[in-house]
Copies of this chain bind each other. A is one copy, B any other.
Amino acid sequence: MKDFLSLNSQLCFAVYETASEFTKLYASVLQPFGLTYTQYLVLLSLWEKDAVTMKELGARLHLGTGTLTPMISRMQENGWIQKRRSTEDERKVFVYLEDKARQQQMAITQKVAEEIQLCNIQVEEYNELMKRLNDLHHKLQDRTDHKKLGRS
């Protein structure tokens, strides 16, 4: 049990600190553009696939409406995106990129790339870390899936 406590607390801190350092790096790059890290994730998602509903966007980012609704409103106020209620099904709200977001994509990506390069992260490391994160991610998800199905 003592082993577990120690290993566990190390992992808790590692995940927590690394994620927050990571976020801060991006935040510092994004600030001049008037973007937060989460808003940047929204743009990343929309650059891949535009014109999605709040529900789909929330699913992609694993965010509920309690987080998404006010954030998307702010992004609309800042001219990054547009929200429009569907006429077909008035429950749905679609989100669209504004020109500003398309025009600045390269500039933002460029600045992020420059900052990342300062860290000297090798592609191998990049991929290995991502693999490890995704493995953990899937194990965490499988666990909840098993629970929902009445444990495996």
Contacts and interface: CB of A to CB of B under 8 A. Distances in A.
A44 B133 CA distance: 23
A118 B146 contact: yes
A136 B129 contact: yes
Contacts of A25: 140, 143
A26 interface: yes
| Chain A interface main SS type | helix
Given A25-B143, A119-B140, A18 B133 contact: yes
A87 interface: no
24 contacts: A1-B106, A1-B113, A4-B113, A5-B47, A5-B109, A8-B112, A8-B113, A9-B48, A11-B126, A11-B130, A12-B26, A14-B133, A14-B134, A14-B137, A15-B133, A17-B137, A19-B19, A119-B136, A119-B142, A121-B139, A125-B136, A128-B132, A129-B133, A129-B135
